Amino acid sequence: MDLPFAENYKIKMVEPIYQSTRKQREKWIDEAHYNLFNLRSDQVFIDLLTDSGTGAMSDRQWGALMTGDESYAGSSSFHHLKDKVKEIFGFDYFLPVHQGRAAENVLFSVLVKEGQVVPGNSHFDTTKGHIEFRKAKAIDCTIDEAFDTNGGHPFKGNIDIEKLTNVLESHTKEQIPLIIVTLTCNSSGGQPVSMKNIKQIRAAADQYGIPVIFDSARFAENAWFIQNREEGYANKSIREIVAEMYQYADGMTMSSKKDGIVNIGGILAMRNENWYKQAMVFNIMYEGFNTYGGMAGRDMNALAVGLDEVTNGDYLENRIRQVHYLGNQLIDAGIPVQKPLGGHAVFVDAKSFLPRIPKEEYVAQTLAIELYLEAGVRGVEVGTLLADRDPETKQNRYPKLEFLRLAIPRRTYTNNHMDVVATGLMNIFERRNSIQSGFQIVEEAPIMRHFTVKLKQK
């Protein structure tokens, strides 16, 4: 008999978590104004709010923390990380920042101006926020197949080259500061972008003289999908695939809280020296001196090791298998999820799950609250709350898809935890027709409202 698959690590340190009663959770979610971001972590049993900054570091990373160099200028930790960025991505110019949105803030301060447009594949919310904050516009050019949750397209993060070309054609070069390629595409379901598509984007960008920036939060997971799904890459290593992907980019922003497997930090890197010189000024103003940016020396050390681990050995196999272990249980139970399964999360199609809730009552948020009440599991809404209002008309933007995202932290939970999540959702699925109404907004912020919005039962 073949031996079954098992994780390629053992656990050296544990943190207790507590199961509460439904009665307790009813009280807590009411006190939190039906916003899961307002819960205390000890009110949550299994926390799938995000895979951002919630992973477990390795013993090598904890060791690297101890040898961090906290010199204000020129620390060896900065140079470790700079060398690692060059080795993996090939960029000469690197600035450390405190997280992904800080990289966006610094880079867009240099490149994005009022009235411009930034085409890309379902821009992440902070990316869109930083574009709109500068009174520019994010244009989503994701392929239509991404919005069909049942379609089997292997690369639903792809950019539709025709849509992109239309944007490039209908604007002047001066109106388009850059194209953003999000790897993997978080907002459309953790879906990867193929190498073929990356090459096509580059070719279109070159034709019109527009730079290409990779939003790289989950670059390694994207490479895994290329290795496993794209013809010609099965025998290439993750390192080789990443190197090939980044040949086609002029620069990158990265939240290292995802595929950096650290709890805080970010990367801004580029080829263009002129951009770098301008970015340094903003980095000093917003983040810190250029050899630490927003990071401690120890954090830069741990990130350098994390980048090494995420691109080597069986790490990605372990990671993605666990996400698919959860996803396949839901699929087997007939629960509608985004297919094929993505890399960091399972996206439950809330509109199909709860067809009786009108879109004005925040369908995915309603399902997220149900799952918390049922099992103490915290997921997150990726739907109308996240999509925010149109900056011009101030009307709610209703996205094509309403998801409950279950993001799996890296190396943190076991498959027993995944079983609890799956069973919780199956229980709700059984009684789904008894859920008749959703929520309404009581209070909201003018931008990125989902973090702080207050809701009440409709």
Q: Which parts of this chain interact with ligand PLP (CB under 6 A)?
A: 52, 99-101, 124, 126-127, 182, 186, 215, 217, 255, 257-258, 266
Cβ closer to ligand PLP: 77 or 253? 253
Minimal distance in Å, beta carbon 430 to ligand PLP? 33
Minimal distance in Å, beta carbon 102 to ligand PLP? 7
Strand arrangement, sheet containing 403-407: 345-349, 403-407, 380-382
Q: The tokens of 324 are what?
A: 């698919």
> Alpha carbon of 332 to those of 57, 326, 388, 423: distances in Å?
32, 10, 33, 12
Task: Give the number of residues written for the chain.
Answer: 458
Cβ closer to ligand PLP: 283 or 329? 283
Cβ closer to ligand PLP: 131 or 238? 131
Distance between CA atoms of 354 and 367, rounded to whole angstroms? 8
Angle between helices 76-89 and 297-310 in degrees, nearest 10? 20
Minimal distance in Å, beta carbon 5 to ligand PLP? 27
In the chain, the amino acid numbered 237 is: S
Minimal distance in Å, beta carbon 209 to ligand PLP? 25
Cβ closer to ligand PLP: 186 or 283? 186
Minimal distance in Å, beta carbon 253 to ligand PLP? 7
Minimal distance in Å, beta carbon 146 to ligand PLP? 15
**What are the catalytic residues?**
72, 124-125, 215, 217, 258, 450
Distance between CA atoms of 180 and 209, rounded to whole angstroms? 14
Distance between CA atoms of 199 and 209, rounded to whole angstroms? 15
Q: The tokens of 454 are what?
A: 């207050």
Which of 67-81 are b and which e, b meaning 16 or more Cβ less than 10 Å from the residue's Cβ?
ebbeeeeebebbebb
In the chain, the amino acid numbered 456 is: K
Q: Looking at beta carbons, which residue is closest to ligand PLP? A: 100
Cβ closer to ligand PLP: 9 or 451? 451
Distance between CA atoms of 235 and 190, rounded to whole angstroms? 24
- Pairing mode, if any, of strands 117-120 and 137-140? parallel
| DSSP one-letter code for 425 | H
Distance between CA atoms of 239 and 220, rounded to whole angstroms? 9
Tell me whether residue 16 is exposed, middle or buried, using C-beta atoms within 10 angstroms of its C-beta: 0 to 12, 13 to 18, 19 or more.
exposed
Cβ closer to ligand PLP: 257 or 319? 257
The answer to whether the CB of 334 falls within 8 A of the CB of 373 is no
The answer to whether the CB of 221 falls within 8 A of the CB of 311 is no
In the chain, the amino acid numbered 388 is: D
Minimal distance in Å, beta carbon 100 to ligand PLP? 2
Cβ closer to ligand PLP: 288 or 376? 288
Cβ closer to ligand PLP: 127 or 194? 127
Picking from 161, 152, 153, 214, the residue whose alpha carbon sits closest to that of residue 185 is 214
- Pairing mode, if any, of strands 266-270 and 251-255? antiparallel
Minimal distance in Å, beta carbon 127 to ligand PLP? 6
Tokens 């244009």 belong to which residue? 139
